Amino acid sequence: MKNTIKITLGFIAIALTFSSCNNSKSSESKGGLSSSAAEQVYVKPGDHDEFYAFLSGGFSGQLSVYGLPSGRLFKVIPVFSQDPEKAYGYNEETKPMLMTSYGEIPWGDAHHPDISQTNGVLDGRWIFINENNTPRIARIDLSNFETSEIIEIPNSAGNHSSSYVTDNTEYVIAGTRFGIPIPQRDISIKDYKGNFKGALSFIKVDKDSGQMDLSFQILMPGFDYDKAHPGRGKSDGWFFYTTYNTEEANSLLEVNASQNDKDFIAAVNWKKAEEYIKVGKFKTMPTKYAHNIYNDETHSATTTWGTSVKVLDPAECPGLVYFLPTPKSPHGCDVDPTGEYIVGSGKLAASLTVHSFTKMLDAIKNKKFAGEAYGIPILNFEDVLAGTVEQPGLGPLHTEFDGKGNAYTTFFISSEVVKWKLGTWEILDRQPAFYSPGHLMIPGGNSQKPFGKYLVSMNKITKDRYLPTGPEVCQSAQLFDISGDKMKLLLDFPTIGEPHYAAGIPADLVAPKSRKIFKLEENKHPYATTNDADTKVVRDGKNVHVYITTIRSHFNPDNIEGIKVGDKVFFHVTNMEQDYDVPHGMSMIGANTSEVLVMPGQTETFVWEPKQVGVWPFYCTDFCSALHQEMQGYVRVSPENSNIPLSWSLGEE
């Protein structure tokens, strides 16, 4: 066994060295292209980019927003991790967003963003993203670029084959990477085989509000469900999932889960699942999961608890799931814009496998099965095979499409992006990526209508590409022009965290709808102060509520007395501005939290527990005006037994 590992690692090392030499040679030969490349990515000062690109943050737990072709970073949207820059997860209003059945969790691992679609085309309303570690899916509202909702996925562990939307965003899906006992119980890990299960989850999306609802789960065998892709167009109604570890190994997976010559792509007919749910063919399983929703009028999130889930057993639901044999631990699972081709990227396979949806339906109709696994029919590899791309590269991971009949696949080990033709399977072009790309993204490249102008490769390793920054060097994206026959490298730009997947969209589908302010008259926050006359300080035992407002360039009130050591002071900050781009911040010396950054018309709350007698200042943290530096105030803190009455004022000497 030890030998096998050594050989594998050695092979990868050789491949990497090999690709590095290759790369440096071709980067030199690119010198002549650099000036035209610069023109292609140059966005004049004041001009706007053509596309938004949303790159997942991986272990940063966030989603970052870039412009293409410039590669300029616009915003980091906090999703699964606390973010002191924006007070997300620190202020009282957003803390519930991070609630789970395990309690409040300050961090997450965000992998696959996906933009909502209508009729298989990006509609620019919401973007969904999965959390891997503590299974969750978030919905971000693209009118304000803030996280609106997070739903926890029960019966799941390592929510990796997630979050992808169907043609009309009927569902966003989740799928477990790890097999686990369902329901969870105390059993030996050695009893994995046959006892552990993998749940695939279908989350219904309300077509008007976008609100998510855990609709049902399919309880699959305990394989690892790695990646997923919805059917498109003709295959709408199906979902495809790559699996590995069909060996059901529970230890040393790098060897033990690489035994089978073929694993599976699981084809799930979700329209059939809906029928089975309708006729009551499900079991209701008790469980507990958090559902956190942020309300734009109360400017606050609340958590509600789900207590059960409908579960389908594929063995009892004929026609629900089929297995398509796919070589060697496939990772990427990608469906082309026509919905006909299903690409499975066997990480250890010598060629790329492409299945045909039409052939799959025929084989099902003719009941041509090679066998079954846990009651799920297995189709014959040859019966569903559309074709193979021979010798495409080493270590294929992910594929996207340009809508012109071409596919683009990343190769981790040989460190390149390879362009090939759907239907003929011939390789058209290959370009090195620096280095070891994971996912790639073409705006709309997983929908029926890709915008095939640019391709972004997200690279795992950068080594020498940037100035060194200690042992941790940045991950990197590379922008390619794919408008011609050959791909052309245009730009490197560093990324935040480790982007796995990304989603891109033409800016004009999002920018015109972007919110400028929150209307003060619509502010329904229970502690809002929408009028200067209503500012006040209210004591409720040891809790003190400060109703405070901000407007250029003062706080109201800015002098507060009567606070005592041992109090818990809630600053409810309402930003009374009704102009675009005028947030105010607020921070208080010694507050064991972050500042708050309050958008125009919004209310946010932070807590301060004064521990020492004295007079303590607070100030505005966002440079809001010429007199920003004057935007400050004081709180007098008296001993616990003091009789100083509460008082507050502005502009009194």
Which partner in ligand CUA, ligand K7E, none is near 631 (CB below 5 to 8 A by kind)? ligand CUA
Pattern of binders to ligand K7E over 378-407, x per CB under 6 A?
-------------------xx---------
Which partner in ligand CUA, ligand K7E, none is near 622 (CB below 5 to 8 A by kind)? ligand CUA
Pattern of binders to ligand K7E over 210-229, x per CB under 6 A?
-----------------x--
Report the nearest approach of ligand K7E to the CB of residue 642 (Å).
57
Which partner in ligand CUA, ligand K7E, none is near 349 (CB below 5 to 8 A by kind)? none
Site for ligand K7E in 113-172 (CB under 6 A): 160
**For residues 344 and 376, what is the distance between their CA atoms, to the nearest angstrom?**
19
Report the nearest approach of ligand K7E to the CB of residue 258 (Å).
17
Report the nearest approach of ligand CUA to the CB of residue 250 (Å).
56
Q: Which is nearer to ligand CUA, 250 or 621 (CB)?
A: 621
Q: How far is CA 56 from CA 212, 433, 494, 530, in A?
A: 20, 19, 13, 37
Which partner in ligand CUA, ligand K7E, none is near 501 (CB below 5 to 8 A by kind)? ligand K7E
- Which of 95, 136, 331, 572 contacts ligand K7E by CB under 6 A? 331
Tokens of 235: 């295959």
488 binds ligand K7E (CB under 6 A): no
- Which of 500, 525, 572, 584 contacts ligand K7E by CB under 6 A? 500
- Please report, for the chain, how many H helices and E strands are present, in that order: 7, 44
Q: Which is nearer to ligand CUA, 93 or 577 (CB)?
A: 577
Vertex 209 angle, CA 207 and 210, to 5°: 65
Q: Which is nearer to ligand CUA, 86 or 584 (CB)?
A: 584
Q: Which is nearer to ligand CUA, 232 or 584 (CB)?
A: 584
Q: Are 625 and 552 in contact (CB under 8 A)?
A: yes
- Which of 197, 299, 439, 554 contacts ligand K7E by CB under 6 A? 439
**For residues 81 and 58, what is the distance between their CA atoms, to the nearest angstrom?**
11
Report the nearest approach of ligand K7E to the CB of residue 402 (Å).
20
Tokens of 259: 């035994």
Q: Are 357 and 339 in contact (CB under 8 A)?
A: yes
**For residues 203 and 273, what is the distance between their CA atoms, to the nearest angstrom?**
13
Nearest to 558 by CA among 646, 514, 498, 617: 617
Which partner in ligand CUA, ligand K7E, none is near 620 (CB below 5 to 8 A by kind)? ligand CUA
Give the torsion through C-alpha atoms of 587, 590, 592, 595, to 10 deg: 10
**For residues 56 and 112, what is the distance between their CA atoms, to the nearest angstrom?**
6
Which partner in ligand CUA, ligand K7E, none is near 112 (CB below 5 to 8 A by kind)? ligand K7E
Report the nearest approach of ligand K7E to the CB of residue 475 (Å).
11
Q: Which is nearer to ligand CUA, 584 or 636 (CB)?
A: 584
Nearest to 487 by CA among 37, 6, 14, 8: 37
Which partner in ligand K7E, ligand CUA, none is near 584 (CB below 5 to 8 A by kind)? ligand CUA
- Residue nearest ligand K7E, CB atom distance: 438
- 454 forms beta bridges with 481
Q: Which is nearer to ligand CUA, 568 or 628 (CB)?
A: 628
Name, in order, each residue with C-beta under 8 angstroms of 566's C-beta and a sequence gap of 6 or more.
542, 609, 640
Name, in order, each residue with C-beta under 8 angstroms of 513's C-beta and a sequence gap of 6 or more.
124, 142, 143
**For residues 421 and 243, what is the distance between their CA atoms, to the nearest angstrom?**
25
Q: Which secondary-structure segment (H or E) carries 14?
A: helix 2-29
Distance of CA 342 to the CA centre of its chain: 23
Which partner in ligand K7E, ligand CUA, none is near 623 (CB below 5 to 8 A by kind)? ligand CUA
Pattern of binders to ligand K7E over 76-115, x per CB under 6 A?
-----------------------------------xx---
Three-state SS at 375: coil
**For residues 285 and 379, what is the distance between their CA atoms, to the nearest angstrom?**
31
Q: How far apart are the first and last CA of the chain?
A: 81
Name, in order, each residue with C-beta under 8 angstroms of 437's C-beta and a sequence gap of 6 or more.
397, 410, 411, 412, 415, 416, 417, 457, 458, 459, 460, 478
Three-state SS at 38: helix
Q: Which is nearer to ligand CUA, 402 or 595 (CB)?
A: 595
**For residues 136 and 130, what is the distance between their CA atoms, to the nearest angstrom?**
6
Which partner in ligand K7E, ligand CUA, none is near 397 (CB below 5 to 8 A by kind)? ligand K7E
- Which of 238, 289, 501, 571 contacts ligand K7E by CB under 6 A? 501
Which partner in ligand K7E, ligand CUA, none is near 438 (CB below 5 to 8 A by kind)? ligand K7E
Report the nearest approach of ligand CUA to the CB of residue 633 (Å).
11
Q: Which is nearer to ligand CUA, 128 or 555 (CB)?
A: 555
Q: Which secondary-structure segment (H or E) carries 295?
A: strand 283-295
Q: Are 583 and 597 in contact (CB under 8 A)?
A: yes
Q: Which is nearer to ligand K7E, 337 or 438 (CB)?
A: 438
Which partner in ligand CUA, ligand K7E, none is near 624 (CB below 5 to 8 A by kind)? ligand CUA
What would the DSSP string read from start to end of 226-279?
EEEEE--GGGTTEEEEEEE-TT---S-HHHHTT-SSEEEEEEEEHHHHHHHHHT
Name the residues that contact ligand CUA, by CB under 6 A.
Answer: 550, 584, 620, 622-624, 628, 631
**Site residue total, ligand K7E (CB under 6 A):** 11
What phi and psi values does residue 578 have, to the nearest 5 degrees?
-125, 35
Report the nearest approach of ligand K7E to the CB of residue 291 (Å).
24
Report the nearest approach of ligand K7E to the CB of residue 397 (Å).
5
- Which of 71, 175, 432, 438 contacts ligand K7E by CB under 6 A? 438
Q: Which is nearer to ligand K7E, 398 or 564 (CB)?
A: 398
Q: Are 212 and 294 in contact (CB under 8 A)?
A: no
Site for ligand K7E in 226-245 (CB under 6 A): 227
The residues that touch ligand K7E, with contacts defined as CB under 6 A, are: 111-112, 160, 227, 331, 397-398, 438-439, 500-501
